[in-house]
Amino acid sequence: MLAYPRVMPHGPEGAQGRCLFIVLEGVDGSGKSTQVAAVARWLAERGRDVLTTREPGATELGTAIRNIVLHSARPVTPWAEVLLYAADRAQHVAEVVRPALEGGRDVVSDRFLWSSLAYQGAGRKLGSVEVAAANREAVADVKPDLLVVLDVPYEVAHARLEGDPDRIEAEPREFHERVRAAFLDLARRFGAPVVDGARPEDVVTKDVIALVDDLAKGSAG
Ligand code: TYD
């Protein structure tokens, strides 16, 4: 299956070393956006040029797709949902991620391919192999240098959500438990670090930054 089998030696070998593509994944309410900001701040403090981004909705097209996929009043079929997220990703990679990496910037993204494998592959029960196949051209050869899964139990994640639930947030507990289990399974299979996101924010940040520090040290050498 396609879950980053290829290596992408992206970016120029600048003075700061190779630029980095860092992805944070996890269930809704796992604290990704807070940690994305913390990682970006940490990298910027070390003189690196950093771009933060997210899926879905980082481009103009993506904003329209996000609105449809999360707020459509009419039913969206599971495979239409897969393809909408894949379309958002294709545009995101082509318009934002790849140009930034090739231009020497680090990119820190709130979600990427694994969100589709977990939410659509496991949550919607479409299968991770099938969903990965639908994303092949969208992702192309772009591969995270570091992917961190923030793991939070359902009760904790659910309690953190604010406002009216969107189409995905409104899914029942079983759906979100499948998504959480899928992230943990992907992490185990592909050797991605899992950080316990249920702890206080600063403690979580310390663990996430330690992983980024290791990566940055490795890439600068
Ligand atoms: P997110 O931006 O994390 O939500 P919020 O803005 O509410 O914090 O993600 C939006 C939703 O989209 C989230 O419920 C997860 C879902 N999603 C998928 O189902 N598949 C995907 O491929 C992606 C990228 C997101």
Q: What's the CA gap between 180 and 119, in Å, rounded?
A: 9
List Cβ neighbours of 203 (8 Å cut-off, separation of 6 or more).
Answer: none
Q: Where are the domains of the chain?
A: 23-219
Residue with tokens 């879905």: 56
Contacts of 120 (CB under 8 A, 6+ apart): 78, 81, 82, 85, 126, 131
| Overall pTM surpassing 0.85 (yes/no) | yes
The CA 56 to ligand 1 mean position distance, Å, reads 6
CA atoms within 13 Å, Cβ hemisphere of 67: 6
Q: For every one of its 221 residues, what pLDDT tens digit does the chain have, with 9 covering 90 and above?
A: 455 543 444 444 444 458 999 999 999 999 999 999 999 999 999 999 999 999 999 999 999 999 999 999 999 999 999 999 999 999 999 999 999 999 999 999 999 999 999 999 999 999 999 999 999 999 999 999 999 999 999 999 999 999 999 999 999 999 999 999 999 999 999 999 999 999 999 999 999 999 999 999 987 75
Give me the CATH topology for the region 23-219. Answer: Rossmann fold (3.40.50)
Q: Let me know how long the chain is.
A: 221
The Cα-based distances of 68 to 55, 61, 74, 142, 161 in angstroms read 14, 11, 9, 26, 20
Give the pocket of ligand 1 (CB within 6 Å): 28, 54-56, 70, 85, 111, 115-116, 119-120, 168-169
Mutate which of 168, 176, 180 to test ligand 1's pocket (most atoms within 8 Å of Cβ)?
168
